[in-house]
């Protein structure tokens, strides 16, 4: 599904960045370039033979200082399907737990001469800090409340497969906007591509000044979801909360949970998304999450492998001496 309406420069000029730390700073054509590059891997992943030796001989380190299941597994599968040697580093078994500084860890990773490093960290800015200290491309797999760029890219790829275009698309992002790096990256990505973004959250979970990100903020979910084409739900990030942000899970579901009745307020063909993991019965009901004809949640997982394959491919082209990427 390469976009015929998209034009971008040839070779490395199409994506001149050394790494992928965030969506911020990417031009719309650079985002579309990555989406287009992912399409070949969507096709490959749907065949019985899913392996290519494109990155044979290269080493990818997945350095996860913060726990993850979906993102780590997705990056691992992506690297292995491209033929790379993939090494996973878990924070629970790393020297960080023994008091090693982030800069020392960066120096250690750099000394291992990896060809790309995928980093997930609980602190905003940690990925950029490491990226500045290593010689290879760095991919941000989520850093604190900052960004989660590959999640935004896979969400955009999912929406494009379902809706074909972004211009004028009405997208509602509802949930814990304040603590969500997924929300931030999606706002940056989808608004850049021409979508109309509404964000909805309780007052305590809505960032101050969110209007500056070119979105319409709502506290009333019924008003926000009216006429929506895509409804993206977010979980409550209790691990990042200190204090009482909501009265109770039951009250939160009543006001901000996606139910069948509430979905009926959206466009008749509105689609449902969730980055996972889901808290069923709180931010989304099971009979909504499991709607075969409306839910894109499993498609998001599929698109995640493809977009991460594309990112690993594109960001290692210079190291591999690909023509036009010197």
- Which residues belong to the active site? 70-71, 98, 120, 148
- Note whether 228 and 266 are within 8 A (CB): yes
CB 61 within 8 A of CB 109: yes
Q: What is the H or E stretch that residue 197 is in?
A: strand 196-200
φ, ψ (nearest 5 deg) of residue 63: -100, 100
Three-state secondary-structure class, residue 142: strand
Residues paired with residue 85 on neighbouring β-strands, in sequence order: 59
Tokens of 10: 């040839």
The full DSSP string for 2-51 is: --TT----SGGGGS--SSB--STT--HHHHHHHHHHHHHHHHHHTSS---
Say whether 218 sits in a helix, a strand or coil: strand
- For residues 12 and 18, give the distance between their C-alpha atoms in angstroms, rounded to a whole number: 10
CA diameter of the chain: 58
DSSP state of 202: -
Tell me the chain's radius of gyration from C-alpha atoms: 20
């Amino acid at each position: 599904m390469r976009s015929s309406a998209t034009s971008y420069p040839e070779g490395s000029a199409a994506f001149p960045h050394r790494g992928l730390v965030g969506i911020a700073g990417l031009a719309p054509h650079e985002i579309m370039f990555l989406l287009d590059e992912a399409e070949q891997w969507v096709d490959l992943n749907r065949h019985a033979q899913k392996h290519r030796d494109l990155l044979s001989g290269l080493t990818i380190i997945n350095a996860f200082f913060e726990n993850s299941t979906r993102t780590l597994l997705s990056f691992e599968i992506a690297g292995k399907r491209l033929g790379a040697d993939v090494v996973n580093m878990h924070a629970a078994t790393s020297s960080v737990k023994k008091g090693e500084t982030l800069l020392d860890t960066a120096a250690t990773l750099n000394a291992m001469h990896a060809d790309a490093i995928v980093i997930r960290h609980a602190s905003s800015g940690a990925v950029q800090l490491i990226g500045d200290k290593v010689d290879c491309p760095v991919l941000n797999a989520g850093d604190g409340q900052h960004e989660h760029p590959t999640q935004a890219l896979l969400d955009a790829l999912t929406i494009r497969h379902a809706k074909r275009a972004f211009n004028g698309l009405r997208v509602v992002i509802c949930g814990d906007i304040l603590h969500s790096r997924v929300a931030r990256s999606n706002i940056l990505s989808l608004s850049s591509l021409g979508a109309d973004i509404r964000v909805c959250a309780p007052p305590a979970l809505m960032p101050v000044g969110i209007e500056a990100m070119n979105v319409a903020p709502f506290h009333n979910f019924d008003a926000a979801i009216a006429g929506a084409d895509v409804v993206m739900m977010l979980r409550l990030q209790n691990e990042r909360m200190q204090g009482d942000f909501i009265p109770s899970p039951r009250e939160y579901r009543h006001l901000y949970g996606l139910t069948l009745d509430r979905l009926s307020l959206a466009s008749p063909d509105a689609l449902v998304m969730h980055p996972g993991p889901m808290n069923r019965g709180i931010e989304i009901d099971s009979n909504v999450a499991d709607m075969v004809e409306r839910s894109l949640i499993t498609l998001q997982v599929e698109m995640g492998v493809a977009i991460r394959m594309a990112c690993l491919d594109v960001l290692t082209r210079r190291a591999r001496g690909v023509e036009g990427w010197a």
